[in-house]
Amino acid sequence: MLDGLSCAAAKAGRAASSAKSAMERVRGISGEHDKWPGVPRRATASYLAAMSEEKSTETRNRALLGLAAAVAIAGSGVAIARTVRSRIDRGRRDKGLSFGTARVHGAVLHFAKAGRGPALILLHGFPQDWNEWRPIIARLAKRYTVVAPDLRGIGKSTAGSAKFDAATMAADVHELARVLKLDRPYVVGHDIGGMVAHAYARMYPKDLRGAMILDVPVPGLDGWDEALSGPKSWHVGFLQTPDLPETLVAGGRQDAFLSYFLRMGQHDAAEMGEALKAYATAAQFHAACEMYRAFDDNAEFGLEKRGLNDVPIVYGTGDGSPFVGLADRIVAALKGSGFTKVARATVPDAVHYLVADNPDGVAALIEQHA
């Protein structure tokens, strides 16, 4: 019995790594159940029936699951079944997406890409990575060429240098757009990504169609100091403290710390897991801390970079956001700094993590302006 189960588990493992070779092996056994000792006959028959249909990836996925389930039923291979299910779920979630990297200013930016049409760049916030945008990419990809990078040092991107201010990251994204031949993209940024979107519009006004800043105060403008002074912003000072957060949090305690923030949004288990994975190493968590330590540089940039700018700007918050009370002042400050086209927007039924709370609302807002 043990030998039979080992045989089944080995075949299941090979099937999970290559659906094509699994089908070839099935053809070879031609329904001979005795060659699959330890696996119930009914489960084997179901597996073979599914494997005979080779018209689609979905069919092959069902076949793989059939074999993994059969092995698990026999009392062995539960881990195999979970592995196969995980790979198939990931494949379904990534349908229509392609992934790549680009070297920009010494950093290597990882990005997800989908769709065709006018270019649209989506910039994540803290503590998230490009997966923040996953719930709406498929919808947006029907109208746009969507590119969602990991900011330097986060997720699968490398830092390249010790600079993590918004202007440096905007230069990264601008170079990424050049490398990918994205003509005048529309740039959307949430949280820290919103600071980067603001810097992008200031630095490269001729190279984008517009920018959307979502649920973040703009460094150096009215509302910035007030937003950082309340008790809800306790984490800002903590993350800015030299070395302390890395000492107390990095090294296996990132999940407990970061999930505190993520639980404020309507993230499902998969979204939570992807976000935590993006900050799992000491280097990734350090990069996040350095982004907060660069806030003073970002504020100086906001104070200095003024002047007429005709890039259309949308400033949006959730209707339950901690920044909603500052929104009108921030819009006025953007106009006062020289932006001539500034619109105010609110995402209903959302707090801070807008895409997690109301993905359709965010997608509709982007479609309206991009």
Using an 8 Å Cβ cutoff, are 315 and 345 in contact? yes
Measure the N-to-C terminal CA separation of the chain; round to a whole number of Å. 62
Q: What is the largest CA-CA distance in the chain?
A: 79
What gap in Å lies between CA 54 and CA 238, rounded to an integer? 55
What gap in Å lies between CA 242 and CA 204, rounded to an integer? 32
User: Is the sign of the CA dihedral 107, 126, 220, 218 positive or negative?
Assistant: positive
**By C-alpha distance, which of 126, 215, 201 is closest to 164?**
126
Query: What is residue 92's predicted lDDT score, i.e. its pLDDT?
Result: 65
Residue 126 CA neighbour count, 13 Å, CB half: 22
Using an 8 Å Cβ cutoff, are 236 and 243 in contact? no
Query: What is residue 90's predicted lDDT score, i.e. its pLDDT?
Result: 54
What gap in Å lies between CA 38 and CA 76, rounded to an integer? 9
- Residue 63: Cβ within 10 Å count: 24
Using an 8 Å Cβ cutoff, are 345 and 314 in contact? yes
| 227 Cβ contact list (under 8 Å, min separation 6) | 217, 233, 322, 323, 326
Residues forming beta bridges with residue 214, ordered by sequence position:
190, 316
Using an 8 Å Cβ cutoff, are 63 and 47 in contact? yes
The DSSP element (H or E) to which 170 belongs, if any, is: helix 166-179
Using an 8 Å Cβ cutoff, are 135 and 201 in contact? no
What gap in Å lies between CA 336 and CA 346, rounded to an integer? 21
Question: pLDDT tens digit string along 249-291?
Answer: 988 899 999 999 999 999 999 999 999 999 999 999 999 999 9
Residue 67 Rama label (left phi>0; alpha psi -120 to 50; beta): alpha
Using an 8 Å Cβ cutoff, are 5 and 73 in contact? no
Query: What is residue 94's predicted lDDT score, i.e. its pLDDT?
Result: 85
The DSSP element (H or E) to which 188 belongs, if any, is: strand 186-190
Question: pLDDT tens digit string along 138-185?
Answer: 999 999 999 999 999 999 999 999 999 999 999 999 999 999 999 999
β-strands 107-114, 145-149 pairing: antiparallel
CATH architecture, domain 98-369: 3-Layer(aba) Sandwich (3.40)
The DSSP element (H or E) to which 365 belongs, if any, is: helix 359-369
Query: What is residue 251's predicted lDDT score, i.e. its pLDDT?
Result: 83
Query: What is residue 17's predicted lDDT score, i.e. its pLDDT?
Result: 46
251-255-261 Cα angle (round to 5): 130
Tell me the pTM.
0.78
Query: What is each CA distance from 279 to 10, 42, 125, in whole angstroms?
Result: 34, 45, 12
The fraction of the chain above a pLDDT of 70, given in percent, is: 75
Listed as ranges, residues in the chain with pLDDT below 50 are 1-61, 63-89
Query: What is residue 153's predicted lDDT score, i.e. its pLDDT?
Result: 98
What gap in Å lies between CA 138 and CA 335, rounded to an integer? 33
Domain spans in the chain, listed from the N-terminal domain onward: 2-93, 98-369
